[in-house]
Amino acid sequence: MKGKKFLLAKRPVGEPKVTDFEAVEEELPPVGKGEVLLESVYLSVDPYMRYKSESIPLGTIMPCQAVARVTESKNPAYKVGDNVIAAYGWRSHIVTDPEKLISTFDGSISKAQVLPDFGGVPTSLALGVLGMPGVTALFGLIKLTAPKAGETLVVSGAAGAVGSIVGQIGKILGLKVIGFAGADDKVEWLKELGFDYAYNYKKISVKDALKESAPKGVDVYFDNVGGQISYDVCLRMNTFGRVSLCGAISSYNDMGDTSKPPLAPAIQIPAIGNQLSIHGFLVTRWLNEWQDGIKQLLGYVKQGKLKYRETITEGFDNMPQAFIDILRGENTGKAIVKANL
C-alpha cells in the first residue's frame, strides 16, 4: 500500500508558495507487532508551521497534528475504527508504534491519543475548539491575565481558531470584548458570537476603533498578531494592564529576512509607559492540565456558550494551499484539511 507525504523542499521567502513543498509517494511497510496503520481524516493547518519552515532542515516532513482512523492494528490498545490524534506531520498514512510516535513538533516521543467520545460533536473539533487552539485560548487568557468581570479585553486575530474562543470566554467571564479581524464577514460573525465591538482593521485604524469602544482604556490584551495592531492596542492600555502574548503572525512571513528587525517587538515603548505585564507562552506548558481544559471547553460547547466555525479545505493534496491560505487570512475559525482518502 502507498502513502503520500509533503516535505519542505525550499525555504519560503515571504509568503510561502505551493512549490516550496514536495509531494512524495512512499510504500508503507507491513504492520508489525505493536504497530498500527493510521489513515488521516482531518489535518490541521496552523500559523506555527510558517516559523517552523524557517528552522526545520530542507527535505524534512512538514509538522502537523491530525485526527486519524486506525485501519489496521497489531496493538491491543488501539482498535480498528478508533479515532486518534497524533502529530505525525503532513502524511496521508503512517505505519507506526502509536505509543512511541516521533512528534513532528519537537522530535520528542509522543503517544497517539485515542479520542474520547465527544457526545455527538464532530471529531475535527479535536484540532480546534476541543484541542490545541481551545486550550491555548482558555489557559492563555485565564491563567496569564486573570481577567475580571467588567474589565475590557481586546483580541487580535479575533476571527481565527484561537481568537474566536478567547473572545467568547471573555464574554462568559463578564468582560467587555473588542475584536479585530481582517474582513467584513469576519466582523459580522464576531458580533453574532457576542463580541461587544468588532472591527475590520483593514478599514478602520485601531486607534480610532478603541477611542469609540474603549474610552476608559484596555485592561487585558490577547495578542495573536503582533506588529502595528499590537502597538496601537498597547498605547491604549491602562496602567498595569496585562498582555497574553500568544502569536505574532504579522511577522512570520518576514522572519527569514534578517536585514530588518521584526515588527513584533514594537510594543516595547507602550509596555514601558503603561507598565504592562506581558506573558509570552507556549500552550505546551499546560500539558498536565490539558484534559481538564478540554472538559471545560466541551462543557461550554454543549451548553451553547461556545460556538465554533471551521474552514475546511477538501483533499490531502491541497495541504500546501490550505496552509498558504491561513497566512492570507482566508480562514474563519479553525482551518482544517479533510483528507478524503
Ligand X SMILES: NC(=O)c1ccc[n+]([C@@H]2O[C@H](COP(=O)([O-])OP(=O)(O)OC[C@H]3O[C@@H](n4cnc5c(N)ncnc54)[C@H](OP(=O)(O)O)[C@@H]3O)[C@@H](O)[C@H]2O)c1
Task: Please state at what angle helix 161-172 crosses helix 290-302, rounded to 10 degrees.
Answer: 70
Residue number with CB closer to ligand X (40 or 136) = 136
Q: Please identify, using beta-carbon distances, which residue of 129 and 237 lies nearer to ligand X.
A: 129
Least distance from ligand X to the Cβ atom of residue 335, Å: 6
Q: Where are the beta strands (DSSP E) in 109-175?
A: 109-110, 113-114, 152-156
145 φψ region: left (φ > 0), alpha (ψ -120 to 50), beta (else)? alpha
Of 94 and 218, the one with the shorter C-beta distance to ligand X is 218
Enter the DSSP assignment of 28: P
Q: What residues contact residue 237 under an 8 Å CB cut-off, 6+ apart?
A: 217, 218, 219, 221, 243, 270, 274, 276
As a whole number of Å, the CA-based R_g of the chain is: 20
Kindly state the smallest distance separating residue 182's Cβ from ligand X, in Å: 3
Using DSSP, how many helices (H) and how many strands (E) does the chain show? 10, 17
C-beta of 196: minimal distance to ligand X in Å? 18
Shortest distance (Å) from residue 282 CB to ligand X:
4
- Binding residues vs ligand X (CB under 6 A): 46-48, 133, 136, 157, 159-163, 181-183, 186, 224-225, 246-250, 281-283, 326-327, 329, 331, 335
The least distance separating ligand X from the CB of residue 313, rounded to whole angstroms, comes to 13
Closest to ligand X by CB, 126 vs 246, is: 246
Contact 337, 317 (CB under 8 A): no
Q: Report the nearest approach of ligand X to the CB of residue 160 (Å).
A: 2
Nearer to ligand X, 78 or 231 (CB): 231
Task: Report the run of H or E that residue 186 belongs to, with start and end.
Answer: helix 184-193
Closest to ligand X by CB, 55 vs 239, is 55
Residue 253, CB-side half-sphere exposure with 13 Å CA sphere? 14
Question: Is the Cβ of residue 93 or residue 242 nearer to ligand X in the bound state?
Answer: 242
Report the residue number, 274 or 331, with the smaller CB distance to ligand X: 331
Among 93, 65, 124, 330, which Cα is nearest to 322's?
330
Q: Which residue has the cell 532542515?
A: 57
Q: 88 near 38, Cβ under 8 Å?
A: yes
Smallest gap from residue 263 Cβ to ligand X (A): 9
Residue 201, classified by CB atoms within 10 Å of its CB into exposed (0-12), middle (13-18) or buried (19+), is buried
